[in-house]
Amino acid sequence: MGRKTLAEMIRETGVDPAQVKERLAKNRIEMKDGETFRDAAGKRKVTPMEILKVILVENYELK
């Protein structure tokens, strides 16, 4: 999971890209389409799974 890029995850899950960007911004996560979950998680000091939860779970917020 950590090696997948944001674009790959959006394509595989079918979530709305605009909604994904909004959820990431709400949680102060900067992530480009080609960036891996591992790299983005490292910058924010969270796990890749936490970023996935932000993307997929409505109203999920990082602590």
CB 60, CB 33: distance < 8 Å:
no
- Residue-wise pLDDT tens digits, 28-54: 999 999 999 999 999 999 999 999 999
The size of the chain, in residues, is 63
| Residue 58 half-sphere exposure toward CB, CA atoms < 13 A | 2
pLDDT band at 6 (very low <50, low <70, confident <90, very high): very high
